[in-house]
Structure 1
């Protein structure tokens, strides 16, 4: 069966069915860019979050102190995952700091709010020891939900030339 008329229909309109322009051939879609930005940001957040939760739990910090440590480390690692590649690309220290803060702050903040909020509402998650499957399961689910929550934010920011779009434009 010849599908040329069908193919012509889709290629004759520059906008997709959702009204957004299709990317040029070989270019990733806005959703793909936002997904990669979210995974990138979630990676840094997760390293800091897990490290903070493990340290806080291992040394017996209160829930509040453990969360504060986890949030601080999530921001440190989240920014670092953007900052160091920018430096390696030849960007000045000052410019790399500015771009990393502009690119990641909103996404990290949302992820941390969702992730730690979930850890607090999952019964027993914060009080479970490091050997407890509840601790690790709750942390994994919390991070996945946090990444899911951050995706639309990252997509919105990138579409407007903000957020991770600033870091990508700098490479």
Structure 2
């Protein structure tokens, strides 16, 4: 393959495959939005004195919001119109964020004492870090599979 080809730019290697590096970058992108949303949701829920269910629901909503917002920012920056950019963000991130949130929140919900930990507790931050790491490990192969089929973040890369 020659350097600088479109196929190389998109991280594919013949036969529609995708590189692990491209999948890891896509997952890290989603992880960033999810982490921002998770932490902000926990801070807001705690500040408002909400229970675990309401706080977790807010954190999930904010994780999707920030995940989509990061993609929207880059796609809009590439000159794509708002309506098309929203469709691209939804296509690129929905499955990735959903898997990430399922794993992340599953770890937190199942970890003994994590749901009752406060923001000032070391256990809160330790379990959150473990949960986000687990979500990254599980979601990266999902993103690799989607990208290799022209889905997920492959949709975003068509517009760069």
Q: Which has the higher contact order (CA 8 A, sep 6+)?
A: 2
Measured in 2, the distance between the counterparts of 1:99 and 1:130 equals 34
Match of 2:116 in 1: 127
Q: Is 1:167 matched up with 2:148?
A: no
Measured in 2, the distance between the counterparts of 1:145 and 1:24 equals 36
Any stretches of 5+ residues in structure 2 without a counterpart?
12-17
State how many pairs are aligned.
149
Match of 2:14 in 1: none
- Quick check: which has more Rg, 1 or 2? 1
Measured in 1, the distance between the counterparts of 2:47 and 2:125 equals 13
Q: Is 1:73 matched up with 2:62?
A: yes
Measured in 1, the distance between the counterparts of 2:139 and 2:129 equals 15
Measured in 1, the distance between the counterparts of 2:106 and 2:32 equals 19
Runs of 4+ in 1 over 6 A off after TM superposition: none
Q: 1:58, CA displacement in angstroms?
A: 3.1
Residue by residue, what CA displacement relative to the aligned partner does 1:75-128 show, whole Å, maximum 9, x if unpaired?
000000101111111101110000000000000001011111111111111111
Any stretches of 5+ residues in structure 1 without a counterpart?
1-22
Residue by residue, what CA displacement relative to the aligned partner does 1:120-153 show, whole Å, maximum 9, x if unpaired?
1111111111110001111111111111111011
Match of 1:8 in 2: none
TM-score if structure 2 supplies the norm length? 0.88
Q: Is the 8 A contact 1:58 1:130 kept in 2?
A: no
Match of 1:5 in 2: none
Measured in 1, the distance between the counterparts of 2:140 and 2:155 equals 16
Q: 1:24, CA displacement in angstroms?
A: 5.1
1:50-89 to 2 correspondences below 5 Å: 50-89=39-78
Measured in 2, the distance between the counterparts of 1:138 and 1:58 equals 20
Match of 2:145 in 1: 156
SS in 2 for 1:170: coil
Question: Kindly tell me: are residues 24 and 45 of structure 1, through their superposed partners in 2, closer, same or farther at Cα, counting changes over 3 Å?
Answer: farther
Query: What is the RMSD of the two structures over their aligned residues, measured on CA atoms?
Result: 1.4
TM-score if structure 1 supplies the norm length? 0.83
